[in-house]
A and B are shown apart, each in its own frame.
Chain A
Amino acid sequence: MLPEDCVCTILSFTSPLQTSKSSLVSTTFRSASESDVVWDRFLPPDYQDLLLRLVKPLKFSAKKELFFHLCNWVLIDGGRKSFKIDKSSGKKSYLLSARELFIAWSDEPMYWIWKHISQSRFGEVVELRTGCWIEIHGKIKTPMLSKNTTYVAYLKMRISNRAYGLNTTPFEISVEVGKQASHGTVCLYGHDREKQQTVRMEMLREREDGWMEVELGEFFNGENDEEVKMSFTETKDYHLKAGLVIEGIELRPKL
């Protein structure tokens, strides 16, 4: 049988999931699977920088402990962003808060209201009080994301009880980075002729955490230093709209 340090090297070439499974092989494997050498490889390469940006500093004694702690969403950058690691693969997900996005007219209380709600990870979300011009943009630099990974961007939102006008025109969605660009349209609500009522369209998905999301597009993050631009807009229709509650834009790896 191989000595523990060789098993550590072997495990560090696998994944967090495989390492955890393999801890059951033998006592040597178990010991190796706890080692900092292994979990240092699984933590994001920029984890030390991320730790400095945490809103709540973290205390940890082992890298494995740190890894699993970061598998839960944590706030960074003064509470404007949140990130977590996927347990099985170690890849990062980010949630950019509404404050981190460009939302046209969001500084005008006549159109958008900023408020605190308990179900949000962030201090504030923003609700469309009324308006016809919807223009929401988000940006993130690719070095923040996990390399050689396909990411999908989602607008994380809710529809309040006071919503109206969201079933008239389709919204335009896009994701652009480097030479990659994806554009499309999405309908949030439509009319069900049979049931004679407004129904939520499939593209507006319910999440497990009680929020909803709309996919904005996907892209492959290689190893370049670029900026991803994500958009959700409706600027052609003069019908008034209301009731969109935006928590932010989430980027998660396509696993």
Chain B
Amino acid sequence: MSYGRKITLKSSDGETFEVDEAVGSESQTIKHMIEDDCADNAIPLPNVTSKMLSKVIEYCKKHVETPKPDDNDELKAWDADFVKVDQATLFDIILAANYLNINSLLDLTCQTVADMIKDKTPEEIRKTFHIKNDFTPEAEEEVRKENQWAFE
């Protein structure tokens, strides 16, 4: 069942996806393009790969199709499954949600990362997310001193 027209989204690697306007409008970025009448042809999304775009579309479709209210247990379970991906993919979804301005997806993915960070030391966080320690020894010492209380 679909209302309104269809719009076409084009990923960075040239793949096109046709979706209902309502689904595309879950993204504030796409919504504004539609409102500004830029959506007659395919909307180019140079910052989103086809792999990510299809994931994001899957999320938006599910959320448009599921009736509110928000405390829908089935939707929550679906969301929990949706973020059961490897860490690199999780980061990619965050980047896509950020670029496309999809608040609920950004909150969901960021909450997931926040839960992974919980109770971890800085070194453990770096290991989990493959982050390089780019502090100079002096800067690192300064930050450690400033936050001394957190390590006691």
Which bucket holds chain B's interface residue count? Answer: 20 to 34
Q: Is the CB of B143 within 8 A of A17?
A: no
Q: Is the CB of B118 within 8 A of A14?
A: yes
Q: Is the CB of B133 within 8 A of A30?
A: no
A147 / chain B contacts, CB cutoff of 8 Å: none
CA distance A59 to B114 in the complex (A): 31
A18 / chain B contacts, CB cutoff of 8 Å: 117-119
A1 / chain B contacts, CB cutoff of 8 Å: 131-132
Interface residues of B in 103-130 (CB under 8 A from A): 106-107, 110-111, 113-115, 117-119, 121-122, 125-126
- Give the secondary structure class of B's interface: helix
Q: Which residues of A are interface residues toward B (Cβ below 8 A)?
A: 1-3, 5-6, 9-11, 13-14, 17-18, 20-27, 29-30, 87
Residue of A nearest to B131 (CB): A26
Contact of A2 with B144 at beta-carbon distance under 8 Å, contacts A21-B150, A26-B132 already known:
no
Q: Is the CB of B91 within 8 A of A30?
A: no
Question: When the two chains form the complex, which single residue of B94, B117, B121, B149 contacts A2, counting CB atoms closer than 8 Å?
Answer: B94
Contact of A24 with B110 at beta-carbon distance under 8 Å, contacts A1-B131, A10-B117 already known:
no
A10 / chain B contacts, CB cutoff of 8 Å: 110, 113-114, 117
CA distance A24 to B142 in the complex (A): 10
Quote the shortest CB–CB distance from A32 to chain B (angstroms).
11
Q: Is the CB of B114 within 8 A of A2?
A: no
Contact of A21 with B110 at beta-carbon distance under 8 Å, contacts A6-B94, A6-B95, A14-B118 already known:
no
Residue of A nearest to B140 (CB): A24
CA distance A20 to B146 in the complex (A): 9
B91 / chain A contacts, CB cutoff of 8 Å: 2
* 22 residue pairs from A and B, CB less than 8 Å apart: A6-B94, A6-B95, A6-B98, A6-B110, A9-B106, A10-B110, A10-B113, A10-B117, A11-B114, A14-B118, A17-B150, A18-B119, A21-B122, A21-B150, A21-B151, A23-B146, A24-B140, A24-B143, A24-B147, A26-B134, A27-B139, A29-B131
Question: When the two chains form the complex, which single residue of A6, A9, A26 contacts B133, counting CB atoms closer than 8 Å?
Answer: A26
Quote the shortest CB–CB distance from B25 to chain A (angstroms).
22
CA distance A23 to B148 in the complex (A): 11
